[in-house]
Structure 1
Amino acid sequence: MDGKQMLMIPGPTPVPERVLLAMAQHPIGHRTSEYSKIQAEVTENLNWLHQTQHNVQMLVSSGTGAMEAGIINVLSAGDRVVCCSNGKFGDRWVKVCQAYGLNVEIVTAEWGKPLDTEQIREKLESDSEKTIKAVILTHSETSTGALNDLETINKHVKAHGEALIIVDAVTSLGAYNIPIDDWGLDIVASGSQKGYMIPPGLGFVAVGPKAWEAYKTATLPRFYLDLGKYRKATADNSSPFTPPVNLVFGLCEALRMMKAEGLESIFARHQRLTTATRAAVKALGLQPFAPDEAASTAVTAVLGGDADAEKIRSLLKKRFDIALAGGQDHLKGQIFRIGHLGFVGDRDILAAIGALEAVLVELGSAGAATGAGITAAAKVFAGQA
């Protein structure tokens, strides 16, 4: 049936009808009092979502642009940084740092495994001269479904005393509890097409007081991504450059929906969906790629077992019009990824798991048993598992 595609990928995520309708309004001038009122509400609710008293800066970019902005506004060429990588997006931050001439030291972990927090602690403690300027990491590694222990890593950074912590929270902001002010996080970057429930096009950067101090002496080149310009404009309920007005309309509505649901409920829902998804795939004889203790609440990566992961994805799309994400780089064909981020509920998981069961049975997967996945997920939703 045409027009019934179901997005179950970690971004872009499904967009609520309320948000789509808000975006369908006629645009207005971005230098008008009407727009300023919307900007003021958006800023207030972004601060609420980020759990910070400091205005979150909104950029016209993807999450990658937000992360790049975070780096270039607080660092200088030649600065020593520790860049953590255990997946494709950790690798990306290494490349961004190297592109700007930073002195990059890489801490790695096998794809699918969380970062070893002790490795990071040891590197920071051995820095007796306090030359490390920043520790940079991806919180929820979208490529593998692994969640890194941000809270512990942040404690080690704080014990160092000088280094900033710069966080890619693109698929964890809005899906996992990140109390930015309570933890004292310095830079947290995210993107609109994930937990915010709107289409791609906006990036967000939360900047703490220590990062703003570093901004004063940072010398990497910046213009369009100069966060100081955004800070001044945001304080005036404006934007330094032309914003995508209709996307901001959608963001305003999405944030209202999130505020009505409440932070605790949002985080609990994402955890419930994660638990149900992992229980279901295990019941179908498949294995989540990341361990239970490091499971992302945004996406579950699954090993294809005795069926090719790309065949599973292709058949799901062809037969049921359900889109799952594939493996990236060397994991292509080995894993598929089920997104459960943003505007996703229990019904979506049950539908996706039911379709997955049917596909596995059709492909003759050894562990597939009709009803096993649905039963496992239903027990989680019923509070029985």
Structure 2
Amino acid sequence: MQDKLTLMIPGPTPVPETVLKAMGRHPIGHRSGEFQAVVRRTAKQLRWLHQTSGDVLVITGSGTAAMEAGIINTLSRGDKVLCGDNGKFGKRWVKVARTYGLEVEVIKAEWGQPLNTEAFRTALEADTAKQIKAVILTHSETSTGVINDLEAVTRHVKAHGTALTIADCVTSLGATNVPMDTWGIDVVVSGSQKGYMLPPGLSFVAMSSRAWKAYEQSDLPKFYLDLGAYQKTAVKDSNPFTPAVNLYFGLEAALEMMQEEGLDTIFARHARHRTAAQAGMEAIGLPLFAAQGYGSPAITAVATRSLDAEQLRKVVKEKFDILLAGGQDHLKGRVFRIGHLGYVCDRDILATISAIEVALQFLGLQKSKVGSGVAAVSAILNQI
């Protein structure tokens, strides 16, 4: 059926009708008092979402722009950093850091496994000369469905005393607890097309006071992504460059919806959907790809063994207009991923698991009793 596509991927995610309507307004001048009022209100809302009293700066760009900004505004050429790499986006951190001439020590884990927090502790404790300037990692590794223990890593960084924590929270912010000030995270980056329930186009960089002190010493080249310029204009409820005005309208509407629901309720909803999706897959007989106990609240990655994951995704999309995410890099065809991030409700989870079961039956690959996945999901969702 035309215009019925349901996004069950980790981004872009579904956008609420309220947000779409807000974005459908005529643009206004981005230097006008009316727009400055929007910037002022959203700045306060963003601090609420990040659980910080510090700056949360808005860039017109993708999440990768925020990642790059986090590095180039706090570090200098030749600085030593630790980078966690247990998936495609951890690998991206390594690429960005090396592009800017940083000395990168990689702490690696197999795709599907969490980063070993003790490896970070060991490396940081051995650094008696305090040469490590930052620890950089991905909180929710979108490519594998793994959630890394950001709180524990940040604790080890704080004990080091010199290094900063720079965290990709692109698919964790708005899905699980990321209390920036309480944990002591120095830089948090995220993107609009995830838990924010917006289309792509905005990215966000939250900076601690320690991060701003590092900014004063940073010598890496920057112009459009110079966060000092964003901070200077943010004080005046403005932006150094032309912002995505209509996305700001949507941002305010989305954040109002999130505040009405409340952080604890949002986090509980995402945790419940993770549990339901996992239970549904296990009941069907498809193994989870992420290590037990480390599944992301944003996305469930499913291993398909001998089944071609791309074939399954094709059937689910063609028969039910539900889009699942595929595996990335060497996991293509071996893994599919169910996004349950942002504007996703119980109905979406039920429909998706049901569609997967029917698709398996259509392909002649259903090994469990038909309906077992839906029954498992229903049992979780009915627990109030």
TM-score range, shorter-chain basis? over 0.9
- What does 1:82-121 correspond to in 2, within 5 Å? 82-121=82-121
| Secondary structure of the corresponding residue to residue 294 of structure 1 | coil
Please report how far the alpha carbon of residue 234 of structure 1 lies from its aligned counterpart in structure 2 after TM superposition: 1.1
Which stretch of structure 1 is more off in the superposition, 262-271 or 229-238?
229-238
The aligned runs of 1:188-203 (5 Å cut-off) are 188-203=188-203
Contact persistence 2:357–2:366 (CA under 8 A)? no
Letter in structure 2 aligned against 1:27: P
CA deviation string 1:157-200 (max 9, x = no partner): 11111000000000000001000011111000000000000000
* 2:25 corresponds to: 25
Report deviation, 1:362: 1.3
- Structure 2 match to 1:170: 170
CA distances 1:86-114 after superposition (whole Å, capped 9, x unpaired): 00000011000000000011110000000
Q: Is the 8 A contact 1:10 1:325 kept in 2?
A: yes
What does 1:28-47 align with in structure 2 at a 5 Å threshold? 28-47=28-47
What is aligned with 2:272? 272
Alignment of 1:188-227 (within 5 A): 188-227=188-227
Q: Which residue pairs with 1:138 in the alignment?
A: 138
Task: Tell me which residue corresponds to 1:345.
Answer: 345
Q: Percent identity?
A: 58
Q: Is 2:259 aligned against 1:259? A: yes
Q: Secondary structure at the match of 1:166?
A: strand
4+ residue runs of structure 1 moved beyond 6 angstroms?
none
Q: Aligned AA for 1:348?
A: D
**Residue 128 of structure 2 corresponds to which residue in structure 1?**
128
Counterpart in 1 of 2:155? 155
Q: Which residue of 2 aligns with 1:293?
A: 293
- Please list the CA deviations of residues 107-133 of structure 1 after superposition, one character each: whole Å capped at 9, or x if unmatched: 100000000111111010110101000
Deviation at 1:305, TM superposition (A): 3.2
The CA distance in 2 between the partners of 1:317 and 1:183, in whole Å, is: 41
Residue deviations 1:299-332 (CA, integer Å, cap 9, x gap): 0000113421111000001111110000000000
- In 1, are the aligned partners of 2:69 and 2:227 still within 8 Å (CA)? yes
For structure 2, list consecutive stretches of 5 or more residues without a partner in the other structure: none
State how far apart, in whole Å, the 1-side matches of 2:257 and 2:365 are.
Answer: 40
**Separation in structure 2 between the aligned mates of residue 132 and residue 30 of structure 1, nearest angstrom:** 40
Q: In the aligned structure 2, how far is the partner of 1:2 from the partner of 1:381? A: 29
Corresponding residue SS for 2:98: helix
Aligned alpha-carbon RMSD (Å): 0.8
Aligned to 2:217, the other structure's residue is in SS state: coil
Partner Cα distance (2:218, 2:198) in 1:
33
Distance 2:227 2:368 in 1: 51
SS at match of 1:279: helix
- Distance across 2 between alignment mates of 1:345 and 1:157: 37
Give distance in 1, aligned partners of 2:252 and 2:369: 44
In the aligned structure 2, how far is the partner of 1:125 from the partner of 1:365? 51
Does the residue aligned with 1:28 lie in a helix, a strand or coil? coil
CA contact (8 A) 1:360 1:368 kept: no
SS of the counterpart of 2:301?
strand
For residue 323 of structure 1, give the secondary structure of its aligned residue in structure 2: strand
Q: In the aligned structure 2, how far is the partner of 1:357 from the partner of 1:274? A: 18
Q: Which amino acid aligns with 2:69?
A: A
Residue 292 of structure 1 deviates from its aligned partner by 2.9
* 5+ long unaligned stretches in structure 1: none
SS in 2 for 1:292: coil
Residue 261 of structure 2 aligns to which amino acid in structure 1?
E
Q: Give the deviation of 1:55 after TM superposition.
A: 2.3
State whether structure 2 residue 270 is matched by structure 1 residue 242: no
Deviation per residue, 1:254-288 (Å, 9 max, x gap): 00000000000000000000000000000000011
C-alpha distance in structure 1 between counterparts of 2:110 and 2:341, whole Å: 24
Number of equivalenced pairs? 384
- The 2-side partners of 1:142 and 1:369 are apart by 30
| 1:328 aligns to 2:294 (yes or no) | no
Pairwise CA distance, 1:366: 4.7
Quick one: which amino acid aligns to residue 184 of structure 1?
G
- CA distance in 1: counterparts of 2:22 and 2:155, whole angstroms: 41
What TM-score results when the alignment is normalised by the length of structure 1?
0.99
Tell me, what secondary structure is at the counterpart of 2:107?
strand
Q: C-alpha separation between the residues in 2 aligned to 1:364 and 1:305? A: 15
CA–CA separation in structure 2 for the residues paired with 1:85 and 1:98: 13
What's the counterpart of residue 229 of structure 2? 229
